[in-house]
């Protein structure tokens, strides 16, 4: 059994350590509440934002989500409708989810989204370059977009399901961080496999090593297929085990999800909840 499998097995054997109401509640505060559908409309996004606005009144015991994540054209809608200054406006940019276009187009899309109110931009690693071994070109895209959106935060999605080995995931992690990523993220949620615990372990190890070398803390965001409280607890446990408590805050750990919030609330309240 390799070291990744051994570490994952050990974490799972001790998962009850983290399976506590206060950690389930904390996971709500780590969420990027997400709507990325072709059928999204202004009114649908406004309704989602209104639910976030009213969340502290309806569920005062729990933290608000960390961010609302939408397509770039809805950044201004979220910014105008959102009341809480503690909830960030996040968008997926750079021609999400394929990242298949001209760098100038990707850069402009991300820059405009920030001008319209986005605090954070999630882009996809250029797999067309990375899978061809054109690592400098893949890194240039990240650094160019980071420069265009500064001081907004940049999350780079590795699309780990398209990377066939742990070594490839590690290489992509290092490339993204060295190019300026503030976060590295597992998946778009638009292809399978999406987030996996094994990929999370590789990425968190890479983050730890990057911090050792540079002193810079890069965040981690698993996303794609994360829907149950047990999913959330497992990724929380991985971050705690490898990176430690100092990463367990919304500035350095996010959960990308659209269905998770209701399932966490259902578990915590011990009754069916479909608030979001």
Half-sphere exposure for 212 (CA within 13 Å, toward CB): 9
Tell me whether residue 182 is one of the annotated catalytic residues.
Answer: no
In 3-state terms the chain splits into helix, strand, coil percentages (rounded to 5) of: 50, 10, 35
Residue of 170, 180, 240, 243 lying closest to 211 (CA atoms): 243
CB 195 within 8 A of CB 227: no
Indicate which residue of 32, 122, 231, 240 is catalytic. 122
Q: How far apart are the first and last CA of the chain?
A: 41
Tell me whether residue 221 is one of the annotated catalytic residues.
Answer: yes
Tell me whether residue 216 is one of the annotated catalytic residues.
Answer: no
Indicate which residue of 81, 221, 231, 240 is catalytic. 221
CB 185 within 8 A of CB 256: yes
Return the active site residues.
122, 185, 221
């Amino acid at each position: 059994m390799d070291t990744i499998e051994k570490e994952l097995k050990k974490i799972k054997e001790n998962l009850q350590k983290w399976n506590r109401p206060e950690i389930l509640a904390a996971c709500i505060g780590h969420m990027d509440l997400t709507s990325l559908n072709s059928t999204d409309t202004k009114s649908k996004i406004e309704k989602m934002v209104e639910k976030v606005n009213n969340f502290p009144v309806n569920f005062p015991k729990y933290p608000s989500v960390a961010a609302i994540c939408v397509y770039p054209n809805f950044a201004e809608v979220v910014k105008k409708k959102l009341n809480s200054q503690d909830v960030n406006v996040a968008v997926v940019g750079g021609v999400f989810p394929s990242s298949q276009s001209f760098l100038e187009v990707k850069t402009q899309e991300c820059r405009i989204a920030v001008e319209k109110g986005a605090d954070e931009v999630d882009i996809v690693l250029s797999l067309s370059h990375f899978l061809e071994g054109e690592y400098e070109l893949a890194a240039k895209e990240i650094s160019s977009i980071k420069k265009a959106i500064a001081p907004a935060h940049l999350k780079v999605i590795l699309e780990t399901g398209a990377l066939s080995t742990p070594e490839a995931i590690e290489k992509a992690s290092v490339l993204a961080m060295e190019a300026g990523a503030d976060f590295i993220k597992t998946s778009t949620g638009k292809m399978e496999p999406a987030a996996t615990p094994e990929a999370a372990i590789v990425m968190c190890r890479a983050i730890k090593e990057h911090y050792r070398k540079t002193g810079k803390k890069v965040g981690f965001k698993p996303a794609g297929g994360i829907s149950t409280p047990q999913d959330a607890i497992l990724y929380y446990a991985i971050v705690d085990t490898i990176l430690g408590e100092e990463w367990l805050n919304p500035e350095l750990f996010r959960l990308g999800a659209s269905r998770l919030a209701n399932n966490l609330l259902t578990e915590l309240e011990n009754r069916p909840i479909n608030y979001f």
